[in-house]
Amino acid sequence: MGGEGKKKKKNLVIYPGSFDPITYGHVNIVDRALNIFDKIIVSVAINTTKSGTFTIEERVDMMQEVFKDEPDVEVDSFSGLLVDYVRERRAQAILRGIRTVTDFDYEFQMALANKSLDPDVEQVFMMTEGKYLYHSSSIIKEIVSLGGSVGEMLPPIVEKRLGEKLRT
Residues recognised as catalytic: 26, 50, 99, 137
Q: Which amino acid is at 150?
A: V
Distance CA 109, CA 101 (A): 12
Radius of gyration of the CA atoms of the chain, in A: 17
- Those residues whose C-beta lies under 8 Å from the C-beta of residue 26, and which sit 6 or more positions away, are 15, 17, 19, 42, 97
Sign of the CA dihedral running 17, 95, 76, 58: positive
Burial class (CB in 10 A: 0-12, 13-18, 19+), 27: buried
